């Protein structure tokens, strides 16, 4: 339960205070004087160092024990009034979505229906829908039994990608995570597939697409586009595709925009979504990579470009007016410095699994990394009047002090 806070009311409860995304959401709401409580499993969570964080909530780890986490969240919402609940990480969104009928009606959950959300979390459902609607995708094989696997392994073009249907799965309340794996031969595909299949049943098999990643960030309501931002990814971690570490707001390719909106309209989408494409360097066609029905890694560049997705989603959840934001500043660049360091080290080390993948030049990557200042460049989490989150990993010892400065009030169960 919430000690000495049971009669209070707050505008928002935000989960996953350790994520950079949560800090972006928190700061966005704070700029609009929206009072939020931030939840996390650790006192050292990134958002707890921000001056925008006035109240914090410690809860059991959603990854280690989802049952205890959900009980804690339910108790919090029943004892304290919140207008909106913002689950941020996939490991909190999916469990909370499943028990949405146990959340008080006074608290809005700005997510699409659970069945719709599942179509984005399950990549097989995502790609079946895209293929049905004529949206370009990598050549994809859906495995129905391990007997089919050998025949498929002889058809696939190599290198190939083994992509788990779900990035996160739960086993006895614990969350397991798996990224795609890359293979060079039929024998390698068979052995790697069986390993992945044990915890992530029947992953997809896809051709590897060389090229550049783009994101189409959107806000939808009642099949109407309310906000959009195009983002180009220059560097990511892992290098072959993952969290963007250096990106820029750009004008969207018309075909890419058309495919993204077509997919969301087919889903009758509600809320935020990021649709990822890779422009194939062989034929220059944008091909679908995935849909994220949540806040995405490059959120900060979209907000900096003038599309304040967290605040717009809050307005949508509370039935406030949402004026469409369909234009934004181009050329805004954002860099996640910690991730960029990891990217540099990975490039210098070389391909870890030996797959024949598109790989950046070591010299070019080092030169680009050393460009610490560029026109329009910002750094994730770094804010001149709120610098502590950016430096918190360096000054970890201050995490204990922050709890006792009197600036952050602590909630406990």
Residue 6, pLDDT above cutoff 80: no
More confident residue, 389 or 129: 129
In this prediction, residue 353 carries a pLDDT of: 55
Q: What is the mean pLDDT of the chain?
A: 90
More confident residue, 215 or 353: 215
Structure-token pair, residue 271? 């809320």
From residue 222, give the alpha-carbon distance in Å to each of 100, 110, 130, 164, 284.
Answer: 20, 13, 20, 31, 32
For the segment 130-137, the average pLDDT, to the nearest whole number, is 97
Residue 401, pLDDT above cutoff 90: no
Query: Mind listing the domains of the chain with CATH numbers?
Result: 9-109+401-411 (3.40.50.720), 139-207 (3.30.1490), 211-369 (3.30.470.20)
In this prediction, residue 4 carries a pLDDT of: 40
| Cα–Cα distance measured from residue 172 to residue 88, given in angstroms and rounded to the nearest whole number | 22
In this prediction, residue 399 carries a pLDDT of: 38
Q: How deeply is 105 buried, as exposed, middle or buried, from its count of CB atoms within 10 A (0-12, 13-18, 19+)?
A: exposed
Q: What share of the chain has pLDDT > 90, as a percent? A: 80
Q: Give tens-digit pLDDT for 229-257.
A: 999 999 999 998 889 999 999 999 999 99
What confidence category does residue 408 fall into, taking pLDDT thresholds of 50, 70 and 90? Answer: low
pTM: predicted TM-score of the whole model, two decimal places: 0.91
In this prediction, residue 173 carries a pLDDT of: 82
Residue 413, pLDDT above cutoff 50: no
From residue 84, give the alpha-carbon distance in Å to each of 5, 21, 176, 219.
Answer: 17, 17, 28, 17
Q: 124-139 burial by CB neighbour count: b if 16+ within 10 A, else e? A: bebbebbeeeebbbbe
| Cα–Cα distance measured from residue 398 to residue 403, given in angstroms and rounded to the nearest whole number | 9
What confidence category does residue 207 fall into, taking pLDDT thresholds of 50, 70 and 90? Answer: very high
- Nearest by Cα to 225 from 304, 126, 133, 322: 322
For the segment 211-226, the average pLDDT, to the nearest whole number, is 94
In this prediction, residue 345 carries a pLDDT of: 92
> Which three-class secondary structure state does DSSP give residue 232?
strand
In this prediction, residue 354 carries a pLDDT of: 53
More confident residue, 8 or 322: 322
Q: Which range (42-56, 67-81, 299-313, 353-367) has the least confidence?
A: 353-367
Could you tell me which residues come within 8 angstroms of residue 42 by beta carbon, excluding any fewer than 6 positions away?
A: 18, 58
Q: List 57's β-bridge partners, or say none.
A: 39, 411
For the segment 203-210, the average pLDDT, to the nearest whole number, is 96
Residue 301, pLDDT above cutoff 90: yes
Q: How deeply is 387 buried, as exposed, middle or buried, from its count of CB atoms within 10 A (0-12, 13-18, 19+)?
A: middle
Residue 405, pLDDT above cutoff 50: no
Cis peptide before 236 (omega within 30 of 0): no
In this prediction, residue 5 carries a pLDDT of: 46
Residue 397, pLDDT above cutoff 90: no
Structure-token pair, residue 212? 């550049």
- Nearest by Cα to 21 from 292, 289, 340, 406: 292
Q: How deeply is 291 buried, as exposed, middle or buried, from its count of CB atoms within 10 A (0-12, 13-18, 19+)?
A: buried
Structure-token pair, residue 226? 């309310």
Q: Give tens-digit pLDDT for 96-126.
A: 999 999 999 999 999 999 999 999 999 999 9
For the segment 347-353, the average pLDDT, to the nearest whole number, is 76
Number of C-beta neighbours around residue 8 at 10 A? 14
């Amino acid at each position: 339960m919430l000690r000495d806070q049971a009669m209070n009311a707050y505008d928002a409860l935000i989960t996953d205070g350790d994520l950079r995304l949560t800090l972006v959401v928190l700061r966005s709401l704070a700029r609009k004087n929206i009072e939020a409580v931030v939840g996390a499993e650790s006192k050292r969570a990134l958002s707890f160092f921000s001056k925008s964080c006035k109240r914090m909530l410690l809860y059991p780890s959603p990854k280690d024990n989802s049952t205890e986490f959900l009980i804690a969240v339910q108790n919090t919402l029943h004892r304290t009034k919140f207008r909106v609940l913002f689950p941020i990480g996939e490991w909190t969104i999916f469990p909370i979505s499943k028990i949405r009928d146990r959340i008080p009606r006074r608290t809005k959950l700005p997510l699409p229906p659970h069945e719709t959300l599942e179509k984005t979390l399950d990549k097989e459902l995502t790609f079946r829908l895209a293929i049905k609607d004529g949206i370009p995708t990598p050549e994809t094989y859906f495995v129905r039994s391990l007997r089919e696997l050998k025949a498929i392994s002889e058809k696939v073009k190599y290198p190939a990608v083994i992509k788990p249907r779900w990035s996160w799965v739960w086993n006895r309340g614990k969350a397991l995570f798996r990224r795609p794996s890359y293979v060079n031969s039929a024998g390698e595909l068979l052995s790697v597939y069986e390993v992945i299949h044990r915890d992530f049943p029947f992953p997809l098999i896809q051709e590897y697409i060389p090229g550049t990643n783009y994101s189409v960030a959107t806000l939808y309501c009642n099949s109407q586009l309310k906000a959009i931002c195009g983002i180009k990814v220059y560097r990511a971690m892992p290098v072959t595709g993952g969290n963007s570490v250096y990106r820029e707001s750009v004008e969207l390719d018309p075909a890419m925009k058309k495919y993204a909106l077509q997919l969301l309209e087919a889903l009758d989408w509600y809320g935020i979504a990021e649709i990822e494409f890779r422009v194939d360097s062989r034929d220059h066609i944008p091909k679908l990579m995935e849909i994220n029905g949540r806040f995405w890694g490059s959120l900060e560049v979209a907000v900096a470009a003038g599309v304040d997705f967290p605040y717009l989603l809050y307005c949508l959840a509370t039935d406030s007016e949402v004026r469409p934001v369909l234009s934004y500043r181009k050329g805004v660049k954002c860099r996640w410095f910690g991730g960029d360091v990891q990217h540099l080290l990975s490039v210098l080390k070389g391909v870890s699994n030996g797959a024949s993948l598109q790989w950046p030049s070591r010299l070019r990557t080092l030169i680009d990394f050393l460009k610490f200042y560029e026109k329009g460049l910002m750094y994730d989490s770094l804010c001149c009047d709120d610098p502590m989150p950016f430096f918190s990993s360096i000054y970890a010892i201050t995490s204990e002090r922050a709890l006792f400065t009197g600036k952050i009030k602590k909630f406990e169960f």
